[in-house]
Amino acid sequence: MRPSRPDEWARQKFEQEAQRVPLSGVTRRRLKRQVRLLLWLPMKWGRMARFVGDKLDDTSNLIAGTVILIVAILVVLKVLPFEELLQRVKNAVGG
């Protein structure tokens, strides 16, 4: 039978052993969550910026297509003479 050891010795032994234990699962999960948040936030902002840019691009394409259709219809109906259209296009292009 072993002789009983004092409580202070047991407390010191426990603290020594506790310092050797690697990071607990809870601490690792908390660290992973923080790293994931750090990486997720810029990615989310990038996706939002791309979404807004795509929608603006789609809108500008829609407007340009509508203008082209309206001008083509006006030329076909002879409301806008073709020569005047050519002149306006040359002025707009800078020629």
pLDDT for the residue 61 = 92
pTM of the model: 0.50
pLDDT for the residue 4 = 65
Q: Residue 53 to residues 56, 57, 66, 76, 89: CA-CA distances in angstroms?
A: 5, 6, 20, 35, 28
Which pLDDT tens digit goes with each residue over 61-79? 999 999 889 988 999 998 9
Residue 39 pLDDT exceeds 80: yes
pLDDT for the residue 16 = 81
Helices 25-76 and 82-93 cross at an angle (nearest 10°) of 140
Residue 19 pLDDT exceeds 90: no
